[in-house]
């Protein structure tokens, strides 16, 4: 079968190889992949910033949809012919985190899904929603669950609360869609006025161009009449985190999700204490959370925001687009 594999760090080392088709072991299933979606995390991986100990060669990409075509011994959760999507943290079914959730992920310590077939534990799969196309279903797992888990499961978002969404990438636009659908008032920041217009069309009540307004936290305070917002999806990290502490309401929650601007942060601890801010690290979410999210998405008939769909052979162009910053999700169609 064909598989896009990393043979070393750097996008130059992502190559299309002929590899033997893996056989399922106990509790595993074989999935014929239809589509995969990209996440910024895939860039972190090939740049060597996610797992510097990555063992090469390793097939890339975590988020996928496909059809179960064969079962290993003892596998019984799905039948051949069923359409499934992958859960990012393959061993996190439910319950509190144990600390290694993001270790057992596809393209990292487990061969990924940018290939004709994926062999995976049946426990890491959920049924794909029937109302979504393969490309749309592939867009859901990592980015969708991250936003859902942060805002809804941990944040307990209620209607009328205010939410700040930073940027217009995959996690952010799921956050915008989820918060808007639940009746929250959303502020979106972006480096692009054109993207901000599109965010408004998706329900953003207020927008801020963070490239033109680097001290965007003052703008957030002005919009909220100096109250601050109830929740922030912090996808930027670095110096941005201190600004988020200024922009949050007393008692509000900052979901610490991303490191687009750096892995280290210098934060005002006194403000954090005085405002009694909840700062919560997020590591995507458990399979049960993905199932909860899919039920709600199905009720709402929520469709992910798709930016571009690339062919399997053109996978490198899809990754290059990821580096430029998409509006929503980028998909690679593995099989028509
Ligand atoms: N902890 C977790 O569980 C988890 C899960 C998923 C993702 N993540 C992390 O979350 C981050 C986003 O991931 P993603 O896959 O959604 O990325 P993505 O789709 O590649 O989105 C990137 C977007 O981020 C925005 N951005 C970049 N720098 C920014 C800044 N200084 N301020 C505000 N926005 C900025 C840009 O939006 P504009 O073009 O609109 O400016 C850019 O298009 C990454 O760091 C990723 O590693 C973490």
| Residues 157-181: tens digit of each pLDDT | 999 999 999 999 999 999 999 999 9
326 Cβ closer than 6 Å to some ligand 1 atom: yes
State the maximum Cα–Cα separation within the chain, in Å, rounded to a whole number.
61
* pLDDT over 90 (residue 187): yes
173 Cβ closer than 6 Å to some ligand 1 atom: no
142 Cβ closer than 6 Å to some ligand 1 atom: yes
Q: Distances from the Cα of 108 to the Cαs of 16, 74, 75, 96, 228, in angstroms? A: 17, 26, 24, 22, 38
257 Cβ closer than 6 Å to some ligand 1 atom: yes
pLDDT tens-digit series, residues 208-267:
999 999 999 999 999 999 999 999 999 999 999 999 999 999 999 999 999 999 999 999
* pLDDT over 90 (residue 193): yes
Which pLDDT band, with edges at 50, 70 and 90, does 336 fall under? confident
Question: What is the whole-number distance in angstroms between the Cα of residue 100 and the centre of ligand 1?
Answer: 22
CA distance 224 to 311: 44
195 Cβ closer than 6 Å to some ligand 1 atom: yes
295 CB-near residues (< 8 Å, 6+ apart): none
β-pair type (63-71, 28-37)? antiparallel
What is residue 223's predicted lDDT score, i.e. its pLDDT?
98
From the CA of 322, give the closest atom in ligand 1. Answer: 20
Question: What is the whole-number distance in angstroms between the Cα of residue 178 and the centre of ligand 1?
Answer: 17
When pLDDT is averaged across residues 268-285 and rounded to a whole number, the result is 98
| Token pair recorded at residue 321 | 């687009």
When pLDDT is averaged across residues 307-328 and rounded to a whole number, the result is 98
From the CA of 327, give the closest atom in ligand 1. Answer: 43
190 Cβ closer than 6 Å to some ligand 1 atom: yes
Question: What is the whole-number distance in angstroms between the Cα of residue 16 and the centre of ligand 1?
Answer: 27
Which pLDDT band, with edges at 50, 70 and 90, does 109 fall under? very high
What is the helix (H) or strand (E) element at residue 281, kind and residue range? strand 278-281
Helix and strand counts by DSSP (H, E) for the chain: 10, 16
| Token pair recorded at residue 56 | 């090469």
When pLDDT is averaged across residues 275-298 and rounded to a whole number, the result is 98
The average confidence (pLDDT) of the chain is: 98
29 CB-near residues (< 8 Å, 6+ apart): 68, 70, 71, 72, 75, 78, 84, 119, 120, 121, 122, 125
What is the best residue among 37, 40, 239 to mutate for testing ligand 1's pocket, by most ligand atoms within 8 Å of CB? 40
329 Cβ closer than 6 Å to some ligand 1 atom: no
Listed residue (209, 215, 207, 255) closest to 231, CA to CA? 255
Query: DSSP secondary-structure letter at 334?
Result: S
Backbone angles phi, psi at 91, to 5 degrees: -105, 0
* pLDDT over 90 (residue 85): yes
* pLDDT over 90 (residue 6): yes
Q: What is the pTM of this model?
A: 0.98
* pLDDT over 90 (residue 28): yes
């Amino acid at each position: 079968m064909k598989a896009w594999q990393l043979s070393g760090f750097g996008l130059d080392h992502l190559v299309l190889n002929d590899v033997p088709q893996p056989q399922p072991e106990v509790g595993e299933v074989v999935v014929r992949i239809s589509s995969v979606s990209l996440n910024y995390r895939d860039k972190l991986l090939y740049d060597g910033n996610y797992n510097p100990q990555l063992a090469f060669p390793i097939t890339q990409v975590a988020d996928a949809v496909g059809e179960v075509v064969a079962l290993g011994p003892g596998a019984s959760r799905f039948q051949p012919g069923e359409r499934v999507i992958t859960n990012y943290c393959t061993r996190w079914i439910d319950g509190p985190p144990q600390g290694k959730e993001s270790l057992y992920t596809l393209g990292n310590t487990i061969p990924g899904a940018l290939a004709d077939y994926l062999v995976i534990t049946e426990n890491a799969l959920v049924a794909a929603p029937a109302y979504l196309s393969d490309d749309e279903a592939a867009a859901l797992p990592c980015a969708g669950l991250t936003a859902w888990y942060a805002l809804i499961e941990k944040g307990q978002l209620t209607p009328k609360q205010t939410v700040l969404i930073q940027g217009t990438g995959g996690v952010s636009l799921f956050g915008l869609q989820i918060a808007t659908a639940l009746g929250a008032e959303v502020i979106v920041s972006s480096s692009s006025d054109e993207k901000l217009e599109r965010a408004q069309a998706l329900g953003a009540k207020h927008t801020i161009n963070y490239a033109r307004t680097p001290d965007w936290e003052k703008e957030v305070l002005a919009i909220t009449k100096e109250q601050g917002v109830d929740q922030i999806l912090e996808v930027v990290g670095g110096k941005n985190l201190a600004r988020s502490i200024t922009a949050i309401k007393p008692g509000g929650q900052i979901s610490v999700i991303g490191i687009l601007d750096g892995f280290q942060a210098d934060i005002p601890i006194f403000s954090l204490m005085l405002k009694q801010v909840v700062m919560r690290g997020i590591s995507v979410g458990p399979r049960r959370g993905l199932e909860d999210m899919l039920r709600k998405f199905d009720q709402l008939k929520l469709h992910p925001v798709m930016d571009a769909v690339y062919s399997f052979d053109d996978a490198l162009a899809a990754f290059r687009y990821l580096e430029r910053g998409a509006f929503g999700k980028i998909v690679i169609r593995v099989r028509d």
